[in-house]
């Protein structure tokens, strides 16, 4: 993509998502995600006069000397966008791909966070973490994130959601709002997802295309695996094959629902031909109740 085309795409996304953010999302975002008042900063040795209720008994037992938890006022929030850019996200039978959809949602959330004076960070991943932009504030930073989403091409095969969450846990110790966007065609994460849901305000955004669930009945079709590039021929008229596609999709949705419910995380499922605004607003409104 040449520089002129890239700038035009960045500008189009800015105009569309900034309007959505200003008119619909900013108020819901601000009421949904509030500062937690005080956040954990560190532990230090107990000093005369310290409140004994602040003693960290685990550290005290390990160090064999009294240690207390130190808290600080949390004046700002951080939004982290953790986005799957594996080759399967380039698929789409509507006028946009799954990656286009994720970019629009990410930009809308970023502008909403900017309006709340929050920091915004970005992690792009496929088979491994490929790009990290540390959290910062401001429009210039948001535009950098949008540009990166548009121009970065995946360099690794597969989809390692668990690895991306593990990386986030290593670099972000404080409470943050995290939106994890993926088609979740790879293995559904488990352990790291649950840990992240306890540390962060975590929401998974699952994007899918109905043509991945129901193929047109046109006889033999070549299907290319978007992750590996392997091609196999299937009979689209086969009821058995159609049933397997539906079962695979439903099994994935059941897994994601169970995982998010157990861990206390949010889940938004968006089909490519649907408007993403209503389910996003519904989720944000549910957070503010």
Mean pLDDT over 95-105 rounds to 90
The predicted-structure confidence for 111-140, as pLDDT tens digits, reads as follows 999 988 899 999 999 999 999 999 999 999
Lowest pLDDT segment from 53-57, 185-189, 252-256: 185-189
| Shared-domain flag, residues 90 and 64 | no
| Shared-domain flag, residues 89 and 158 | yes
| Shared-domain flag, residues 47 and 87 | no
Number of folded domains that form the chain? 2
- Percent of the chain whose predicted confidence (pLDDT) is above 70: 88
| Shared-domain flag, residues 265 and 155 | yes
Grade residue 220 by pLDDT with cuts at 50, 70 and 90.
confident
> Which domain, by its residues, includes 143?
3-34+76-288
| Shared-domain flag, residues 69 and 138 | no
pLDDT at 74 > cutoff 60: no
pLDDT at 288 > cutoff 90: no
| Shared-domain flag, residues 151 and 50 | no
| Shared-domain flag, residues 190 and 275 | yes
pLDDT at 172 > cutoff 90: yes
Residue indicated by tokens 């970019």 = 103
| Shared-domain flag, residues 69 and 83 | no
| Shared-domain flag, residues 227 and 86 | yes
Query: What is the pTM for the complete model shown?
Result: 0.79
The CATH number that applies at residue 91 is: 3.40.50.410
Q: Which residue among 22, 55, 74 closes a domain?
A: 74
| Shared-domain flag, residues 85 and 203 | yes
Q: What is the pLDDT of residue 66?
A: 93
| Shared-domain flag, residues 55 and 193 | no
| Shared-domain flag, residues 134 and 231 | yes
């Amino acid at each position: 993509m040449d520089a002129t085309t890239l700038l035009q795409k960045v500008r189009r996304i800015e105009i569309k998502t900034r309007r959505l953010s200003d008119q619909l999302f900013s108020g819901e975002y601000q009421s949904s995600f509030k500062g937690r008042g005080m956040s954990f900063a560190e532990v230090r040795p107990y000093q005369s006069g310290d409140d004994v209720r602040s003693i960290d008994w685990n550290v005290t037992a390990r160090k064999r000397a009294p240690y207390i938890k130190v808290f600080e006022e949390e004046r700002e929030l951080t939004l982290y966008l953790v986005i799957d850019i594996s080759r399967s996200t380039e698929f789409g039978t509507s006028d946009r791909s799954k990656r286009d959809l994720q970019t629009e949602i990410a930009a809308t959330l970023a502008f909403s966070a900017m309006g709340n004076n929050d920091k915004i960070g970005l992690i792009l991943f496929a088979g491994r973490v490929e790009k990290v932009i540390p959290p910062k504030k401001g429009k210039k930073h948001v535009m950098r994130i949008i540009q990166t989403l548009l121009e970065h091409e995946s360099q690794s095969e597969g989809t390692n959601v668990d690895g991306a969450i593990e990386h986030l846990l290593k670099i972000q110790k404080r409470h943050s709002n995290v939106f994890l966007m993926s088609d979740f065609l790879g293995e559904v994460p488990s352990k790291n997802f649950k840990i992240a849901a306890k540390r962060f305000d975590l929401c998974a955004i699952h994007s899918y295309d109905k043509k991945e669930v129901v193929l047109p009945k046109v006889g033999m079709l070549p299907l290319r695996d978007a992750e590996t590039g392997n091609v196999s021929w299937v009979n689209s008229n086969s009821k058995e094959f159609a049933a397997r596609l539906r079962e695979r999709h439903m099994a994935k949705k059941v897994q994601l629902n169970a995982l998010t419910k157990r861990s206390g995380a949010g889940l938004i499922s968006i089909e490519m031909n649907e408007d993403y605004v209503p389910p996003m607003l519904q989720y944000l409104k549910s957070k503010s109740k």
